[in-house]
Amino acid sequence: MNIFNGLEEIVETDYPLAKRTWYGLGGAADYFIAPKTVRQLKEVVRRCTNNNIRIYVMGFGSNLLISDEGLRGAVIKLEAEQFSQIEFDGEEVTAWAGAELSKLVLTCVEKGLSGIEALTGIPGSVGGAVKMNAGGNFGDFGSVVETVTLMDNDGNVFEKSKPELVFDYRRTNITAKFILSARLKLNESDSEQIMRTVKEIWIYKKNNQPLNTKNSGCIFRNPQGGSAGAIIDRAGLKGLRIGGAVVSEKHANFIIAEKGCTSHDVMSLIETIREKVKEQFDVELELEVEIWD
């Protein structure tokens, strides 16, 4: 019997995941599922749970490394129209999980709403940005998120709001499998002034990050009071290569995937960096990139 009988239009089998990640690496998933509605999502989750199929939730694949062997389970991606909506109500914005973060930033700038321009140049989906509290030197997403709508493994939809909803550096206390949407509280401001800020942040990133390469953003979280990139640089690891994976000469917290690179190359380079930094500075680097294997 087909587990997903009646849902064939949204389910693909033996799906090559490499084309869905910024790294362009990784094997195939048993199932790749793109529900069109919350109701369909609930049904997919119910069938996966009943058949002991492991669920992975994919955003834009910008902060993700998938093993060369692929995944035994179902990758669910909320990319349909319902999951990509952005709704405005004065200074409040409701952004669904599948909406593109960069599009959200620019739309808010055009409407004269300030508060998320710090996320300029960060790729990914709104759901992913909430889950990992995306941000950088200029601020983070959690500072403007008031409420999130979530769904658990049993298909129950519920809300979580501040102060129960807690954001920390690259972390939240959200344990539910699915983030459906987030309600943001922004501030009215002059759109030209916000755009100037956006341009300044973009220029800074262009000058300091290897933007036109295959990478997944920062590999490691910054240790308390320090910079992972600076520590890796001080360890003399810029340019270090394993197979097709190389530490960026521009920013040492980026690993670039060059021609012929495999996920195994990237994982091996990650471990080598951790070992050498621990050896030289007694610092345990924590991953920021998500690894699925």
Specify the pLDDT at position 115. Answer: 96
- Catalytic option among 20, 47, 170, 183: 170
Measured in degrees and rounded to the nearest 5, phi and psi for residue 114 equal: -105, 150
- Catalytic option among 117, 218, 261, 274: 218
43 is catalytic: no
Torsion, CA 2, CA 127, CA 63, CA 224, rounded to 10: -140
Vertex 87: Cα angle to 84 and 93 (nearest 5): 110
Specify the pLDDT at position 2. Answer: 87
pLDDT truncated to tens, each residue of the chain (293 aa)? 589 999 999 999 999 999 999 999 999 999 999 999 999 999 999 999 999 999 999 999 999 999 999 999 999 999 999 999 999 999 999 999 999 999 999 999 999 999 999 999 899 999 999 999 999 888 899 999 999 999 998 899 999 999 999 999 999 999 999 999 999 999 999 999 999 999 999 999 999 999 889 999 999 999 999 999 999 999 999 999 999 999 999 999 999 999 999 999 999 999 999 999 999 999 999 999 999 99
As a whole number of angstroms, the distance between CA 160 and CA 165 comes to 6
Q: Would strands 187-188 and 113-114 be described as parallel, antiparallel, or unpaired?
A: antiparallel
32-47 confidence digits (pLDDT tens): 999 999 999 999 999 9
Specify the pLDDT at position 129. Answer: 96
Q: What is the DSSP string of 201-257?
A: HHHHHHHHS-TTSS--S-SBPPPTTS-HHHHHHHTT-TT-EETTEEE-SS-TT-EEE
User: Which residues, listed in sequence order, are joined to residue 88 by a DSSP beta bridge?
Assistant: 93
**CATH topology for 84-207?**
3.30.465
As a whole number of angstroms, the distance between CA 128 and CA 95 comes to 12
Q: Does domain 8-77 have CATH number 3.30.450.20?
A: no
183 is catalytic: no
261 is catalytic: no
Q: Which listed CATH number (3.30.56.10, 3.40.50.620, 3.40.50.970, 3.90.78.10) goes with 210-292?
A: 3.90.78.10
Domain ranges in the chain are 8-77, 84-207, 210-292
- Strand runs labelled E in the chain: 11-16, 28-33, 55-58, 64-66, 71-77, 86-89, 92-96, 113-114, 135-136, 139-140, 145-151, 157-161, 167-168, 171-172, 178-185, 187-188, 241-242, 245-247, 255-257, 290-292
Specify the pLDDT at position 64. Answer: 97
Q: How far is CA 266 from the centre of its chain?
A: 18
- Catalytic option among 79, 100, 117, 288: 288
